[in-house]
Structure 1
Amino acid sequence: MTSQELYKLRFPIGEFQKPDTISSEIINSWINDIERFPSEIEKTTKDLSKEQLNWKYRPDGWNIKQVVHHCADSHMNIIIRFKLALTEDSPTIRPYYEDRWATLIDSTDDNLENSLSLLKGLHAKLCQLLKHISEEEMSKEFIHPEHGKRFRLDETIGTYAWHSNHHLAHVKQAINHKGQF
């Protein structure tokens, strides 16, 4: 497999591209993507067998169940990051080792119910928050020490809309390829 083919499997919708200008229309579109994600991921995975949940979306990638469990973990972290940025002055957030989390028992469980329930609640709560962030608050930031940079809230909404769509595409890709690469 060529490096370009591997890249396409890793980033089926491409990498996040921050627009030069982030308008309220773009933010609303991103929030809609975030809001829609739990039902889309549930609809896509609801009839999968245990064997299918173990299909990978690319060589050396995670399997479907790890992707779903990862989204719950990741999105738990992002709501905390938003709340920190909204209530503190440019806080430094705590990164985590998502690759290590993906090997823990709750990330390798064949039952997706808890993670899907968590995603539904998290996204409802997150979208409620996002829809009420003022234009001034959108410029608030948090510092990500792993990347050594500041992230604005408006940009982060886009990143997490992309993250949701990115991992939904991974799950669909694993299903379309039947885990075979």
Structure 2
Amino acid sequence: MENQILEKLRHPIGKFTAPERYSKEYLAEKIAEIASFPEKLNKEVISLTEEQLDTEYRQDGWTIRQVIHHCADSHMNCFIRIKWALTEDKPTIKFYHEDLWSELEDNLTMPIQPTLSLLEGLHFRLAYLMKSLSEADLEKLFIHPEHNAKFKIKEIIGTYAWHGNHHLAHITELKKLKNWK
């Protein structure tokens, strides 16, 4: 039972499940989710106090502040990875230690407003670029050294839509649990 509760706190919307087929409709839906993420995130966090921002979404988890900054870190990496895949032949991307990045001073203490602004511009660019991709572009890939796996751009679109929703759910579930408005 405790393992189920912990898993629900870790993955409030479940783990990412790839579709059987990356249809145009599926990709358009996921790009729309990516485009709308900053607005949804802003709505959920803009009125939180400093104390609330520094609350862990689960025991031994990140604070809301860290989650917000992590989304920017991760999604900037996504943007660069897509650019590499579009301009190089099967590039091996640079792995980053998200756990160590989350412990850097900017992720621990920096105000969230600059990151919310960054996410707004970044997600506009991500969605704009993603909407412009041809069928051939969607098949381009990069190699992830941590997983020793190849990821196609079309797969990344689904993964990062899920990623934003996953972390947004960490925040909304904590707000429900704490009865924060």
- TM-score higher than 0.5 here? yes
The answer for the alignment partner of 1:135 in structure 2 is 135
The answer for the alignment partner of 1:163 in structure 2 is 163
How much has 1:38 moved relative to structure 2?
0.2
Residues 55, 178 of structure 1: 8 Å contact kept:
no
How much has 1:109 moved relative to structure 2?
2.0
How much has 1:56 moved relative to structure 2?
1.4
Segments of 4+ moved more than 3 angstroms: none
Deviation track 1:54-83 (CA, whole Å, cap 9, x = no partner) reads: 121111110100000000111111000000
Q: Does 1:30 align with 2:43?
A: no
The answer for the alignment partner of 2:16 in structure 1 is 16
Consecutive unaligned residues of structure 2, counting only runs of 5 or more, are none
Residues 53, 110 of structure 1: 8 Å contact kept:
no
The answer for the alignment partner of 2:111 in structure 1 is 111
Normalized per residue, the structure richer in helix is 2
- The aligned amino acid for 1:49 is T
The answer for the alignment partner of 1:54 in structure 2 is 54
Greater shift in the superposed pair: 167-176 or 141-150 = 167-176
Q: Distance in 1 between matches of 2:178 and 2:110?
A: 17
- The aligned amino acid for 2:10 is R
Q: Residue 25 of structure 2: SS of its match in structure 1?
A: helix
Deviation track 1:145-179 (CA, whole Å, cap 9, x = no partner) reads: 00110001101000000000000001112212229
Consecutive unaligned residues of structure 1, counting only runs of 5 or more, are none
How much has 1:110 moved relative to structure 2?
4.9
Q: Distance in 2 between matches of 1:110 and 1:99?
A: 17
- The aligned amino acid for 2:21 is T
Deviation track 1:23-62 (CA, whole Å, cap 9, x = no partner) reads: 0000000000000000000010010001110121111110
Seq. identity, %: 51
Q: Distance in 1 between matches of 2:45 and 2:139?
A: 36
The answer for the alignment partner of 1:120 in structure 2 is 120
- The aligned amino acid for 1:131 is K
Deviation track 1:88-124 (CA, whole Å, cap 9, x = no partner) reads: 0000000100001001111012510111011001001
* TM-score, with length taken from structure 2: 0.96
Deviation track 1:112-141 (CA, whole Å, cap 9, x = no partner) reads: 011101100100111110000001110100
* TM-score, with length taken from structure 1: 0.96
**Paired residues, what number?**
179
The answer for the alignment partner of 1:75 in structure 2 is 75
